Amino acid sequence: MSESENPPEAEVARSPEAQQTQEVVVTDVNANAGYANFCRVSSTPEELILDLGLNPTPYATGKVEVKVTQRIILNHYTAKRLWSALSMALQRHEQAFGVLETDVRKRVKPQPIS
What is the tens place of the pLDDT at every residue in 54-88? 998 888 889 999 999 999 999 999 999 999 999 99
Q: Is residue 112 part of a domain?
A: no
Alpha-helical (H) ranges within the chain are 76-97, 104-107
The per-residue pLDDT for 110 is 74
- Which structural domain range is residue 58 located in? 3-107
Q: Is residue 92 part of a domain?
A: yes
CB distance 42 to 51 below 8 Å: yes
pTM for the whole structure: 0.66
The per-residue pLDDT for 16 is 59
Query: What total of structural domains would you count in the chain?
Result: 1
Q: Is residue 67 part of a domain?
A: yes
Asked whether residue 4 carries a pLDDT value surpassing 50, the answer given is no
Q: How far apart are CA 69 and CA 50, in angstroms?
A: 11
* Nearest by Cα to 70 from 87, 42, 50: 50
The per-residue pLDDT for 6 is 45
Q: Is residue 25 part of a domain?
A: yes
Q: How far apart are CA 12 and CA 1, in angstroms?
A: 13
Q: Is residue 114 part of a domain?
A: no
Question: What is the mean pLDDT of the segment spanning 35-40?
Answer: 94
Q: Is residue 26 part of a domain?
A: yes
